[in-house]
Structure 1
Amino acid sequence: MTALVAAVLLALLPNAAQAAESYPDPRPLTGQQIIHDPTVLRLKSGQYVAYSTGGVIGARLSKDLKHWDDAGNAFAEPPSWWYEYNDTGDPWAPDISYRAGRYWLYYAVSSWGTNHSAIGVATSPSGLPGTWTDHGKVFTSETTDTWNAIDPAITRADGRLWMSFGSYWTGIRMVELNPHTGKARANTPVHHLATRPDAPYAVEGPYIVKHGRHFYLFASYDACCSGVNSTYKIKVGRSTTITGPYVDSTGKPMLEGGGDLLLEGHGRYVGTGGQSVFQDRGRDILAYHYYDAEDEGTPKLGLNQLNWTKTGWPVVT
C-alpha cells in the first residue's frame, strides 16, 4: 500500500480507528532539529520560521520545511520585566501569528512549579529573529488564582481575538484580547475549556484551530521535560463556539477529562507534545516536540500533516 493510499484510507476512518494503527513517524528533517514547544509559520518572504522554548526564544529557519538552520533568538536580551517572574529571564512556549500587517509573538514567563506567571507579546514587521519589539504583559496570574498564565495560543473568531492558555492548576483557560493592543480586555471573563478529574490536572499547552463549523482544541496531557521518561501525549476535542464546551468524539466534555488521543509516543519518538498547528499551502500541519530515545532523550522537532475524517475529526498522517 502506498503512503498516499494509506493516508487517504486513514482519513476516511473514524477517529478512534487510529488507536488500532501505529502512529506515523514525524517527517524526516535535517539540520538543527533540537527544539521544545515549537510554533511554526510560513512568512510572507516564503521562509518558514520556528520559535521555541530555549534561549531568549530560540529561532530556526527553513526554506522547505525539511532542512532547518539555527537562527539565534527572537530577542538579543530579555526585557527587564521578565525578571519579575524568574531569575534567569527565561521565556517559554511562544506562539507566532500574523494579523493587521504585523507578526505577533506571544510567550510566557514563569518558574517551575508556580502560577506566579505572565504572558507577554512582541511585534515584528518581518517575523524574523532580532526584529521583535516587546510590548510587555498581556495577562498575568498569581498564586491566589486557580489558573496559570503560560502556554498562550491566539485564535480569531467572528471578528474577535482570543487567547487560550494554561498549565496544570485547573487546566486550560481562555480570555478575549483587544485586537488593537493585543492584550487582555479589561475585566475580561476567564473561560474554562478543559481539565481532568485527577490532581495535579496535567493538561497544558492549548492550541485552537477552526475547521468547518467547529473549533478544535488540541492540548498536551501528562508529563513533559523528562527526556525518555516523559509521558506527554496530544488530545483533541471540538466545539461549535470558541469558548466551548469542547467534547471528544464520544461526547464526553473536556471539562470532565474527555479528549480523543491524537498522538502519543511510539518507538524512538517519546513524549510527543508542546504542539501547535499551522497552514502550509492549504494543508494543516501539526508541529510538536518529541524526545529522541536514540539520542539520549534530546527534544526534537516533529512535523506531520493533519487530515480530517468524514465526521470532521483530525488524524495524523
Structure 2
Amino acid sequence: MRLRVTTVLAAVLLAFAPATASATPVYPDPQPVTGQQIIHDPTVIRLKSGGYAAYSTGGVIGTRLSKDRVHWDDAGNAFATPPSWWYEYNDTGDPWAPDISYRGGRYWLYYAVSSWGTNHSAIGFATSPSGLPGTWTDHGKAFTSERTDDYNAIDPALIRAQGRLWMSFGSYWTGIRMVELDPRTGRAVPGAEVHHLATRPDAPYAVEGPSIVRHGRYYYLFASYDTCCAGVNSTYKIRVGRSTSVTGPYVDRQGRPMLEGGGDLVLEGHGRYVGTGGESVFRDRGRDWLAYHYYDAEDDGVPKLGLNRLDWTRDGWPTVA
C-alpha cells in the first residue's frame, strides 16, 4: 500500500511540477550509401532511362550515378570544360549548387557561378536529352545579380506552379528570392518582379539554398540556415515553412513568417553528421526524398551524401524518416 500511495503522490507532484525544457530532438541517420560518397550541394533525380543521377558543386558540375540509390559511382562532370562566360564571375570557372529537373521531354540543369563573398553572380542553365554527363548543351545566363542588388543570384531551384515556371534562389544578401521564368527560353521573364520569400532578422542574414515542393494544397520552402563550408565547424541546418501561394508568404507551424526569421527545424547535425544542408527534394516512386550534404566528423570533416525519406504528418508538415 505504501508503494502504491508513493507512486500516486509522485504522479500528482509530477503533474504540477514546473515545465522543463524539451528534450533534444533525435534525428535519424541518413540512408547508408556506398561507393563515391563525397559530394556538396547535391541535386538528385531518377532518370527516365532508370537509375539515378546526382549533380553537385565541385569540378565542372560533378556527377554521381547510381542504379539503386545506394551505391554511387563517380561519373565525371556535366561539362568537359567550363563555358567561357563563367570566367566573368570567378577566375577558375567554378560552378556551384546545381538543380536538375525534367520537363518538355528534356532535362534542365540550372547552376550558379560566383565568387565567395560577392553578389556579382549569375545563374546559368543547360539542357540534355538524357540527363547524363557529357550530353549537356549550355545556354548561358538565366538570371544575374550585381553589387548594387540586395540579393544574390546563386543556389537556383525550379518549380512549376499554377501553370507558370518559377525559380527560387538566394544566399545571404537579405535571403531567399524568387523570379518567374519564361518556359520557352528558360530565362527570367524580362522585368519580372523579384519576390522575397525568407530572411533572417540580423546581418549577415544567413539563409540560403532554397528548395520548394508542393504537398497537398501547400508549397513548402526548405532552406539552409547558418554556417556552411567549415568542415566539422559547420552549423548548417535545414528549416521549412509553407504557403498556399508559391510566392509566399511562407510561415512555420507557429505562424512565424520566414521573412521574419521563422522556419521549423527539419534536420540538423547529430553525431558524426555535422552541418546538414545544401539540400534538395526529389520524387522517387511516389515518395519524397531529402538529399543534402553533411561533414563527416569521423572522416576529417569530408562532405558526404545524405539521403533520407521525407514523410508527412497528418497536419501536413514534413518529417525526416
TMscore range, shorter length = over 0.9
Post-superposition shift, 1:124?
A: 0.1
Q: 2:139 aligns with which of 130, 135, 139?
A: 135
CA distance in 1, matches of 2:206, 2:237: 11
After the TM superposition, which residues 295-310 of structure 1 pair with which residues of structure 2 at under 5 Å, given as runs?
295-310=299-314
- Give the match's secondary structure for 2:294: strand
Post-superposition shift, 1:19?
A: 7.1
Structure 2 equivalent of residue 254 of structure 1:
258
Post-superposition shift, 1:47?
A: 1.4
TM-score, scaled to structure 1: 0.94
Structure 2 equivalent of residue 53 of structure 1:
57
Structure 1 equivalent of residue 85 of structure 2:
81
Segments of 5+ residues of structure 2 without an aligned counterpart are 1-21
- Give the match's secondary structure for 1:49: strand
Matched residue type, 2:201 = P
Q: Which runs of 4+ in 1 moved over 6 A?
A: none
- Deviations along 1:85-118, one digit per CA (max 9) or x if unpaired, are 0000000000000000100000000000000000
Structure 2 equivalent of residue 211 of structure 1:
215
Matched residue type, 1:220 = S
Structure 2 equivalent of residue 14 of structure 1:
none
Report the CA distance shift for 1:209/1:54 in structure 2 as closer, same or farther (over 3 A). Answer: same
- Give the match's secondary structure for 1:83: helix
Q: 2:156 aligns with which of 145, 152, 155?
A: 152
Larger RCO (CA within 8 A; separation ≥ 6): 1
CA distance in 1, matches of 2:305, 2:150: 32
After the TM superposition, which residues 106-185 of structure 1 pair with which residues of structure 2 at under 5 Å, given as runs?
106-185=110-189
Structure 2 equivalent of residue 194 of structure 1:
198
Structure 1 equivalent of residue 42 of structure 2:
38
CA distance in 1, matches of 2:242, 2:187: 25
* CA-based RMSD: 0.9
Structure 2 equivalent of residue 96 of structure 1:
100
The structure that has the greater radius of gyration is 2
- Deviations along 1:190-224, one digit per CA (max 9) or x if unpaired, are 00000010110000000000000000000000010
- Give the match's secondary structure for 2:245: coil
Matched residue type, 1:29 = V
CA distance in 1, matches of 2:185, 2:237: 34
Matched residue type, 2:168 = S
CA distance in 2, matches of 1:261, 1:21: 10
TM-score, scaled to structure 2: 0.93
Q: 2:271 aligns with which of 249, 267, 274?
A: 267
After the TM superposition, which residues 213-252 of structure 1 pair with which residues of structure 2 at under 5 Å, given as runs?
213-252=217-256
Post-superposition shift, 1:20?
A: 4.9
Report the CA distance shift for 1:90/1:239 in structure 2 as closer, same or farther (over 3 A). Answer: same
- Give the match's secondary structure for 2:144: strand
Structure 2 equivalent of residue 4 of structure 1:
none
CA distance in 2, matches of 1:141, 1:162: 17
Matched residue type, 1:145 = D
The question of 1:284 aligning with 2:284 is answered no
CA distance in 2, matches of 1:123, 1:62: 21
Matched residue type, 2:256 = K
Report the CA distance shift for 1:96/1:184 in structure 2 as closer, same or farther (over 3 A). Answer: same
- Give the match's secondary structure for 1:246: coil
May I ask how many residue pairs the two structures share in their alignment?
A: 300
Structure 2 equivalent of residue 10 of structure 1:
none
After the TM superposition, which residues 57-72 of structure 1 pair with which residues of structure 2 at under 5 Å, given as runs?
57-72=61-76
Identity percentage of aligned residues: 82
Structure 2 equivalent of residue 5 of structure 1:
none
CA distance in 2, matches of 1:250, 1:144: 35
